[in-house]
Structure 1
Amino acid sequence: MGAGGSRARQNAMRSGVVVLGAVAFGYLSFRVGFKPYLDQAQEAIDSSHDPAAAVASDDSGADLPREGVADPAPSKDPAVVLRD
């Protein structure tokens, strides 16, 4: 029985290594594939927490009405409601 248990342990360890490798590969593929979107999201988060960036973006004429563009519906998100 000693040889059978050793063989099962080797197979379990090999399976664990393969699973960890697959998870690492999937994570890296996700990071590389979605990098532009993740960068845009990070910039949006950073600019929403930076008061200087908010003031700079307000000077761009965002308060002026745009022709043919309706105002977006008010958000139901509590964070947006509290921020406004």
Structure 2
Amino acid sequence: MRGGGRARQNAIRSAIVVLGSAAFGYLSYRVGFKPYLDRAQEAMDSHHNSDDAAEQHDHPGGDGDLPPSRDPAVVLRD
């Protein structure tokens, strides 16, 4: 039954490697990519806000439109 213990150790090692890889990927995203994604989101928001301001000048009476949505599906659709 010695082989069964070795198989269990190998399975545990594999699980630790997988969890470590997932943790490393998450930290890489948070440290490496998140600041750039935040800046891109801010740029999109400011561009969207400037477009809204220009539209309000074009339509001074207001059409009763809903405020812009923060939902990504709606943002991509617009």
TM-score by length of 2: 0.52
**In 1, distance between residues paired with 2:27 and 2:17?**
15
Q: Which residue of 1 aligns with 2:53?
A: 58
How far 1:79 moved relative to its partner? 1.6
Tell me which protein shows more helix as a share of its residues.
Answer: 2
Once the two structures are superposed, the pairs formed by residues 1-84 of structure 1 within 5 Å of their partners are 2-43=1-42, 47=45, 54=49, 58=53, 79-80=77-78
- Residue 77 of structure 2 aligns to which amino acid in structure 1? A
- Runs of at least 5 residues in structure 2 that lack an aligned partner in the other structure: 59-75
**In 2, distance between residues paired with 1:42 and 1:12?**
41
Match of 1:7, SS state, is helix
**In 2, distance between residues paired with 1:12 and 1:44?**
46
Q: Which residue of 1 aligns with 2:69?
A: none
**In 2, distance between residues paired with 1:3 and 1:17?**
22
- Residue 5 of structure 1 aligns to which amino acid in structure 2? G
Identity of aligned residues (%): 62
How far 1:24 moved relative to its partner? 0.7
Residue correspondences, number: 56
**In 1, distance between residues paired with 2:2 and 2:43?**
58
